[in-house]
Chains A and B, each alone.
Chain A
């Protein structure tokens, strides 16, 4: 949710139409219908490994997050600007990830409730560019940390 708000601020024009609703162009893969391919020009979050350290005053949970994004460039340039479009997405991703913390939110409740601690993450590790036909894309990995609070 925090990244969604930040993307809306960084680039309000990066949006996606899902189930009739226009939203900032970032989505969590597991929360959407399965798709064979990552949609272009949006950021897709995929949760990977999970770890925890219970030897602390509060249990620290670490979860690896992969952020995938691809683009074909724009039609008006015939896709020849796909490199620039990917660079723009790189910059948007870096801007979204700063500052590297946000209040922890319980989205299971309605409305979502702000919790006591902060979720925080390390610097992203960006993978090399991958080319698939007319698409160029990249993935970035970030480890997200949070402390377990009462009731979790």
Chain B
């Protein structure tokens, strides 16, 4: 009978892919990834809550957990080991600049640069913004209905932030991604739209509707949501806020095997850093790609299976017909 299995060598792969999902900071709930249920997902269409950040390079995982030896006897010999500290870090470079990759690659608060109002006084990140317009009923995650008088303020190529007015709340602000933590109320009615991740690019303007090139991360706009144009993004070195995300890294081998690194809670530990990568090797003629560099610290969760505190899960789905 023909052999219907093979011995698989170590996986050979190109770049890893990264997926992130926001941790609910209020309830402290990370996003679960179950390799047995979800491991075969289409890499271009990740499971619900996970956002595809595309290929990354230089994925390096560092386990810094320390063990101590419990000695006994004369002369002393190791009787047992005990885990003294839990520590794991991960670092890599993003291959694109987007709202999310930029936010992930900074250890601080990340904001939208709202389009300024006429005659606004320059400010580093909080310029007085052009007034927001109300999102009308019938809007979806991809199509925003506006009043006829408002739609003229947006064109194809406009970037927009969609969220509620700030009304003086404190604590974690922003949903589903907490973009800031406020200790005291502010007076800026646009503050939530400054820190929201609910942003998109306008791909079409027809009638009184804006069609978005990508769906809004928060889905269908809630009643009362407003829309503001933005010109870009800004982060700052300093501040007290740390973003927290669930992260999933996937390495797909040439034989169809998959390795998953799931970090339920990950916080950036480095300030904004970039890496210059020459384009086209030595023939690049001085051209260099500026890559966002991310360095993260894993925080523990309690594994409901047995109550152990863990930082990361590594799962492996072998290649079909490979010996295990």
Contact of A118 with B254 at beta-carbon distance under 8 Å, contacts A150-B3, A151-B2 already known: yes
- Asked if B41 CB lies within 8 Å of chain A CBs, one says no
Interface size, B (range): 10 to 19
Category for how many chain A residues contact B: 10 to 19
| Contact indicator B254/A101 (Cβ below 8 Å) | yes
**Interface residues of B, dominant DSSP:** loop
Within 8 A of A (CB), among B1-32: 2-10, 12, 14
| B256 touches A (CB below 8 Å) | yes
A56 within 8 A of B: yes
**A147 proximal to B (CB < 8 A):** yes
- Shortest C-beta distance, B96 to chain A (Å), equals 19
Tell whether B314 is near chain A: CB-to-CB under 8 Å: no
Report the bound CA distance from A56 to B321 in whole Å.
17
Contact status of A58 and B8, CB under 8 A, knowing A101-B254, A145-B254 = yes
* Alpha-carbon gap, A108 to B7, bound state (A): 23
Which of the listed residues A116, A145, A151 has the most CB atoms from chain B within 10 Å of its own CB? A116
Q: Give every chain A residue within 8 A of B9 (Cβ-Cβ).
A: 56-58, 60, 147
Q: In the complex, which of the residues B2, B3, B7, B255 contacts A118, with contact meaning CB atoms closer than 8 Å?
A: B255
- Within 8 Å of chain B (Cβ to Cβ): is A117? yes
User: A85-105: which residues lie under 8 A (CB-CB) from chain B?
Assistant: 100-101
Q: Within the complex, which residue of B4, B10, B12, B14 is in contact with A116, where a contact is CB–CB below 8 Å?
A: B4
Query: Can you list 29 A-B pairs, Cβ within 8 angstroms, ordered by A?
Result: A56-B9, A56-B10, A57-B8, A57-B9, A58-B6, A58-B8, A58-B9, A60-B9, A100-B14, A100-B254, A101-B254, A116-B5, A116-B6, A116-B320, A116-B321, A117-B319, A118-B254, A118-B255, A118-B256, A120-B12, A120-B254, A145-B12, A147-B6, A147-B9, A147-B255, A149-B3, A149-B6, A150-B6, A151-B3
Which residues from chain A sit less than 8 Å from chain B, CB to CB?
56-58, 60, 100-101, 116-118, 120, 145, 147, 149-151
Listed in ascending order, the chain B residues whose CB lies under 8 Å from chain A are: 2-10, 12, 14, 254-256, 319-321
